[in-house]
A and B are shown apart, each in its own frame.
Chain A
Amino acid sequence: MAGLYQKQNLACWHLERSMFKDLKDVSPESTLTYDICIVGTGPAGISVAKQLLGTDHRIVMLESGGMLPEPKYQQLNKGENSGPSFLSLDASRLRCFGGASKLWAGYCAPFKSDEFDKKSFIPLSGWPISLDDLTVYYKQAAKMLGISYEKFYKKDFFKDTFEGISFKEFNRNDSFLSGNVFQVSNTKNRDFGEKYKIDFESSVNTDVIYHSTVTELNLNSEGKAVKSVSIADLEGNKATIEAKIFILACGALENPRILLASNRHYKNGMGNVNGLVGSCFMSHPGIPNVGEVHKTSPEQCISKDKYGNDYIVQFEMSSRERSKQKVLRHTLSVSQYIDLANRSTYSSGRVFSEFGKLFENFNFFSSVKKTTCRITGKGKYSSRLLNLAVGLEQPPRLSNNLKLHTTKDDLGMPKINMHWDDVSKIEKDTVIKSVKTMARELGVLDIGRIKFKNELLTGKSYKIDDPINHHIGTTRMSVSSKTGVVDKNCKVFGISNLYVAGSSVFTTSSIVNPTYTIIAMSLRLGKYLKNIKI
C-alpha cells in the first residue's frame, strides 16, 4: 500500500492513510521517502501527476499554500524590481492546491509550428522539440480543459462560428493577416484544483502535503543528483522529502528561485553552470491604444471578438508575412471600449477624453443596433471608430532576468529580484510593422483606414505599466547547457534526477496564453517519467 513513508532510525512505517495532509500533521523533523516528488500543485504539477496516477510509483505533491488561498502564504510571493519596468511579482500567482488554475482566464490556443524553429532575427530562438512532439498532448490537454483541439485547425471554423464578411476575407489565401482562435475553457474545467481534487483523494499512490514550502534542494555528496528537499510551513514545522526523481512545477518565478537558492553545493545554484537560471524572462507586453481603426462604412464588420462566450478571435500577421517582415508574434485587437476598460486610462487621467470618444459618433439607432449585436452575437457592429491594441511576444533576452535579492521572506528564502525591460527594438518594430500590415489589409479590402499614434513612431510611449502577468522563460529548454537549463525532456542539465515543468522551460514565449501549452508539456513530461525506469 502506498502512502506517506516516514523514515526514522532507518525504519520505514506508514502514517495513517490520508491523501491530503497538512505539514503540521506530519511528525516534526521527519524524513518521508517517495519515488517521485512533485513540487507545486498548479496546472503543471497536476498534469504531471495525473499521468502518474495508478502507477507503481509512490508520488508526493508538495503545495506551499493550503487547500485554499491564505494571505500569509501569498506574502511569500513578494519580491523586488530593479529593472526599468515594473512587474508585479505577486500577481497571477496563487499558493494553494490548484495554483494559478484558479486564477487564469481560460484562453487556450496552441503554439504555431514555426514558433519552434530557430529564427535568424531572434537570438536564442529554436526549441529542441517541434509541434509534432506536443500534438498528442495538446489533444489530451484540450479534453482536460473541455475544449476542442480540432476546432483550432478547422478551416470553416470561422465561417461556422463568426458571422460577417470581413473575417472570412481576412483569411483569403494571400491575406497578410490571419485569425488566431482562442477557445475559452470554462471555470468548471479550468480550475484543476477543484476538478481533479477527487482524483488525488481516491488515488492509492499519490499524497499531497500542503503548507509545505520547499526551502532548499539538497544534492547528494557527488553533487550530481538531488537527494532530498527541505520543506517548511509558517508555523515552524519542518520535514525532509527524499525521492528518486524531483520535479519543480512552481511557475517561472519560483522554479529559478528554488534552483538559485539551493546553493550549498554550487555557489551559483543548481543547474546554473552557465548562469542561465533566471535569465531570458519573458512576458506578453501590450500596448492598449496603438491607433484607431476608421471603418469606411459603419456596416463593415471588423471586430470579431465574442467575449463572454466560448471563443474569441484576434488578428495577427500570417506566419508567411511574419517571417518575411522578421517580426515577433503579436495580436491585433480591435474593440470600441478598450481604453475605458483599461486601468491605465484612469491612472493617466485620460478618463474624460476617452469617455467623450464614446459620443463622438454617437447615434441612438446605431448604438441600439450595436448593443443588440453584442448581446445576440449576431449582425454587424455599427460604430465607425474603433480602438486598436497590440499584444506582443517577447524574445528571449539574457538581460531580462531574475536573481536573488538580499532580503528574505518569512521562511528564510531570498526574495526575487526582477530586472525587466519590457520592450526593445524588435518589439517596437513589430508594433509598427504589424499595424502597417493591418492597414494594408484593410486598404486592399477597402474596409477601413488606420491612424497610428504618432508618439509610437518616434519610439516614445512604449512603457507598459500594466503588462499581462504571464511568466515565461527562466529555466529555458535547449539542446545544450550553454544555451539552456533543461534538455528536451525537461531534465536539468548536470543533475540526473531533477526535472522542471511549466512555462519556465519555454524557449520562446509565443503570444498565446501559456497555460494550455504548460499543460500539454507537463503531460508529455508525465508520460516520459511514467515510461522510464526509476
Chain B
Amino acid sequence: MKVSRRVFIFSGLISVSGILYWKKYTIISNDIESFFSNYESEIPIESFDDISDQTSLFEKELLSMLSNIGVVKTIAIVNKNIKNEYKSGKVKLMNGWIVSETEFSVLALRKKYV
C-alpha cells in the first residue's frame, strides 16, 4: 500500500500526540490515585462529601504539581502546607473533624479518587 508523504506525516503526528495524550492522562490518573492512597488518615472520608470551589481549585493545583514534580515531591509539599496551616490556624470543621484547609480538600478529593 502506497501512502502519500502528507498522509504519513499527518497520521504519524496524530499517533504520537494520541500516545502522548494517553500516556500523560494515564500517568496523572495513576499519580493522583497513588497520591491519595499514600495519604493515610484516621478520618473517614464519608465525613467529607462537600466539594467546594476551594477544593476544585486545590484539585487543579494538585494535578499540575503531580504532572510537574511527581508524587513524592507533591506529598511532601502538601504535608508541609498542612502543617503550616495548622500552625497559622487555617482550620475547618467538617462533621466535627477539625482539619486544615488543605487537608479538608485532600479528604474531600480522596473520596472521589480512592
Decide if B86 is an interface residue (CB 8 Å cutoff). Answer: yes
Decide if A291 is an interface residue (CB 8 Å cutoff). Answer: yes
Which of A34-42, A97-105, A257-265, A449-457 is the interface stretch?
Answer: A449-457
A448 to B82 alpha-carbon distance, docked (Å): 13
A166 to B98 alpha-carbon distance, docked (Å): 20
A449–B43 touching, CB < 8 Å: yes
**Which residues in B have their C-beta under 8 angstroms from that of A451?**
43, 95-98
Decide if A267 is an interface residue (CB 8 Å cutoff). Answer: no
**B78-93 near A? 1/0 per residue, CB < 8 Å:** 0100110111010101
Closest residue of B by beta carbon distance from A441? B86
Interface on chain A toward B: helix, strand, loop, or mixed SS?
Answer: mixed
Decide if B99 is an interface residue (CB 8 Å cutoff). Answer: yes
Range, interface on chain A: 20 to 34
Decide: A444 near B91, CB < 8 A? Known: A291-B96, A439-B98, A452-B96.
no
Decide: A296 near B42, CB < 8 A? Known: A439-B91, A443-B83, A444-B86.
yes
Range, interface on chain B: 20 to 34
Closest residue of A by beta carbon distance from B79? A446
A439 to B83 alpha-carbon distance, docked (Å): 11
Decide if A139 is an interface residue (CB 8 Å cutoff). Answer: no
Shortest distance from the beta carbon of B36 to any chain A beta carbon, whole Å: 16
Decide if B100 is an interface residue (CB 8 Å cutoff). Answer: yes
How many Cβ-Cβ contacts under 8 Å join chain A to chain B?
57
**A284-296 near B? 1/0 per residue, CB < 8 Å:** 0000000100111
Decide: A435 near B98, CB < 8 A? Known: A443-B83, A443-B86, A457-B93.
yes
Decide: A436 near B98, CB < 8 A? Known: A449-B41, A449-B43.
yes
Closest residue of A by beta carbon distance from B86? A443
Cβ contact of A443, chosen from B42, B82, B96, cutoff 8 A: B82
Shortest distance from the beta carbon of A473 to any chain B beta carbon, whole Å: 33
A440–B86 touching, CB < 8 Å: yes
A451 to B99 alpha-carbon distance, docked (Å): 9
A446 to B89 alpha-carbon distance, docked (Å): 15
B97–A446 touching, CB < 8 Å: no
A276 to B43 alpha-carbon distance, docked (Å): 50
**B92-111 near A? 1/0 per residue, CB < 8 Å:** 01011111100100000000
Cβ contact of A453, chosen from B85, B89, B91, B96, cutoff 8 A: B96
Shortest distance from the beta carbon of B59 to any chain A beta carbon, whole Å: 22
**A494-522 near B? 1/0 per residue, CB < 8 Å:** 00000000000000000000000000000
Closest residue of B by beta carbon distance from A439? B98
Closest residue of B by beta carbon distance from A455? B96
B89–A440 touching, CB < 8 Å: yes
Closest residue of A by beta carbon distance from B99? A449
Decide if A224 is an interface residue (CB 8 Å cutoff). Answer: no
**Which residues in B have their C-beta under 8 angstroms from that of A384?**
42
A294–B43 touching, CB < 8 Å: yes
Shortest distance from the beta carbon of B34 to any chain A beta carbon, whole Å: 20
B42–A295 touching, CB < 8 Å: yes
A8-44 interface (Cβ within 8 A of B):
none
**A419-458 near B? 1/0 per residue, CB < 8 Å:** 0000000000000000110011101101011111110010
**Which residues in A have their C-beta under 8 angstroms from that of B86?**
439-441, 443-444
**Which residues in B have their C-beta under 8 angstroms from that of A296?**
40-42
Q: List 11 A-B contacts (CB under 8 A).
A: A296-B40, A436-B98, A439-B86, A439-B91, A439-B99, A443-B85, A443-B99, A443-B100, A444-B86, A451-B98, A452-B96
